[in-house]
Structure 1
């Protein structure tokens, strides 16, 4: 399968604010991986919104206050830039590493000053300060109920908190190196965790016990995600006794991504490895998508789409930049968002290759994590600002105008 490496448009991070002023100018670049970029400017000479001009072969296709559609004479590709609907500062003062949103309008996020907080997405007001971790928190997630928080980090521990009171209810210990990621089994009676120690573990939240080491690997595990595979994919039966503390594992599988560039799929119930595959670079994130497919984001900037039923080669691969992929957020059956270490958040359409959608705001600061719902996406970055994006209507419009 050929790697898709289309030219990429980049723009000044505060373009949406700068172009509101008469006489303003922002930079824009067309970059193809491994080649010298084409640099130009977009200029607003008058107060008329329709009177934007561009230099060096760039062209303005359409412009509104928070979205800008541009092209270049050298390529059939175009890009739509979307500025943040809201930028939330003050929740954190240091780099924000992880964020999770629940259906009640609350968020939980963590920063590199050991701050883990629950806050209101409407007001930006901090509601709870969850104190207990020593060192960086790598992941925090709301339980499916939205009323409990799970966190893990460099102190080798997982912690479970009440999102209403801030009380730490459970601490899970046993990993011998940093805990990099975690996910929920069923509604959360059991959870799994991955670690730099190369193990994937299954935990019972009720009594803080480790029920099993599901998988062991020679290099660190960076990410894990539980998913429901298509019928017939999991056929192995369990060997040995089943603890009455284990709940909801049957019919589920786990994807793990590792430092050595490998991805492994484990049957959560039987503990058997269903397959292993190798990618060109360290795996930073994995995400399951529809129809038995999954996405892998790598340190070298590449993203790969695989099928569970044919893992020898990816169905598709994208590699438009050498900047590391930090997180992937699937969006319906249409495509996915990917955040990068250079501050860009791009949306890749599965069925459209001529239009790119870029969510802007971070000024070359890594965007470490994404979360949200069908309409709103939140991002967190090294610059300590949490940004809210509302791209769903624009995505629907693009789909509608290109089918």
Structure 2
């Protein structure tokens, strides 16, 4: 039997930390939540803020200048609210972001056809990677941290040397935009998916395709390689989720009626984020959907396993760390900053979270312990 859980909806002012820091007269902090069929708003005058606030509805405690503990009494709900430790406005929407394994370098969009490399300590630009003819859709650091893999609207997959900005390889084979990238082992071979429904394997040394399979009538939306089990997890806009071997043999397949925008697996369970904002938990052994966690946050843009939790970004600007519990998810921390603008991508390095979205900003947060 599938367990269905509807999230207890809550939201928080995106720039609350500035209101607390500036303490300007007559300003307020705003939050809200849904209790049954009632939407309740709470406004907190800044002159009543003293390292927190408490009334019969909510309790807020300031743990530090960027982190609050929040309790909503009627929902019996406790969670953290985290503001960015730092942020930087870029020249346009930010469809992708990644951080090198060392944690020193970041990449995001410079303009629609250029990749910006930057210092993670201060977001200062180090070099631009120029060569794509159209928008860059996705980019990732190789495991070495010195080379970048990218894919774009121009249907190419490219390899870059971040030290000199050189475009070392351009790999051609997709018939529509590239939507996802992944590495096998240390990156001697790489994988790409596209809106043409194709999955491609590339040999980086020669820049040639060494394997392709096309799934007709669907756009592939999510790709991840699981080194331990040597399997690929692939999802599509038509709702199909596949586990595929390195030789492209289909091992497991699931179908459901909503498009899947992102998926992740811990080897036993698959977590699928849907276009309608729901998150499915699927047992990959029994091929059964165990639970559906429904939210009102809009499309899931990215879902990633983080320890015993899940990090998920949504179309309404929410980025939430959930704890994985039997048959449900428990909100642990809401990361604020994006004011109702989609957060398209994020990257984790150690205990730091970097986000990128439609509002042109890249942001850095400290991740709390689960």
Given the two structures, how large is their TM-score scaled by the length of structure 1?
A: 0.85
Task: Give matches, 1:5-154, under 5 Å.
Answer: 5-20=6-21, 21=23, 23=25, 24-31=27-34, 35-46=37-48, 48-50=50-52, 52-53=53-54, 58-64=57-63, 65-89=65-89, 92-104=90-102, 105-110=104-109, 113-154=112-153
Equivalent position of 2:320 in the other structure: 346
Q: Report if aligned partners of 1:76, 1:354 keep a CA contact under 8 Å in 2.
A: no
CA distance, structure 2, for counterparts of residue 37 and residue 10 of structure 1: 11
Q: Report if aligned partners of 2:114, 2:131 keep a CA contact under 8 Å in 1.
A: no
Q: Report if aligned partners of 1:111, 1:136 keep a CA contact under 8 Å in 2.
A: no
Displacement of 1:343: 0.5
Equivalent position of 1:256 in the other structure: 234
Which runs of no fewer than 5 residues in structure 1 stay unpaired?
A: 231-251, 397-403
CA distance, structure 1, for counterparts of residue 196 and residue 286 of structure 2: 29
Displacement of 1:112: 5.4
Equivalent position of 2:367 in the other structure: 391
Displacement of 1:391: 1.8
Displacement of 1:345: 0.4
Which runs of no fewer than 5 residues in structure 2 stay unpaired?
A: none
Q: Report if aligned partners of 1:42, 1:53 keep a CA contact under 8 Å in 2.
A: no
Name the SS for the 1:350 alignment partner: strand
Equivalent position of 1:326 in the other structure: 301
Displacement of 1:14: 0.3
Post-superposition Cα deviations, 1:66-114, rounded to whole Å, max 9, x if no partner, equal: 222223332112232111111123xx21000101101331011125532
Post-superposition Cα deviations, 1:138-165, rounded to whole Å, max 9, x if no partner, equal: 1100001111000001111100000111
Name the SS for the 2:61 alignment partner: strand
Q: Report if aligned partners of 1:214, 1:268 keep a CA contact under 8 Å in 2.
A: no
Post-superposition Cα deviations, 1:229-250, rounded to whole Å, max 9, x if no partner, equal: 55xxxxxxxxxxxxxxxxxxxx
Q: Which runs of 4+ in 1 moved over 6 A?
A: none
The 1:217–1:263 alpha-carbon spacing in structure 2 relative to 1, beyond 3 Å, is farther
CA distance, structure 1, for counterparts of residue 359 and residue 225 of structure 2: 30
CA distance, structure 1, for counterparts of residue 256 and residue 68 of structure 2: 35
The 1:49–1:148 alpha-carbon spacing in structure 2 relative to 1, beyond 3 Å, is same
1:175 aligned onto 2:174: yes
Name the SS for the 1:71 alignment partner: strand
Given the two structures, how large is their TM-score scaled by the length of structure 2?
A: 0.92
CA distance, structure 2, for counterparts of residue 132 and residue 338 of structure 1: 31
Q: Aligned-residue CA RMSD in angstroms?
A: 2.0
Q: Report if aligned partners of 1:185, 1:191 keep a CA contact under 8 Å in 2.
A: yes
Name the SS for the 1:97 alignment partner: coil
The 1:222–1:32 alpha-carbon spacing in structure 2 relative to 1, beyond 3 Å, is farther
The 1:111–1:265 alpha-carbon spacing in structure 2 relative to 1, beyond 3 Å, is farther
Displacement of 1:47: 6.7
Q: Report if aligned partners of 1:329, 1:370 keep a CA contact under 8 Å in 2.
A: no
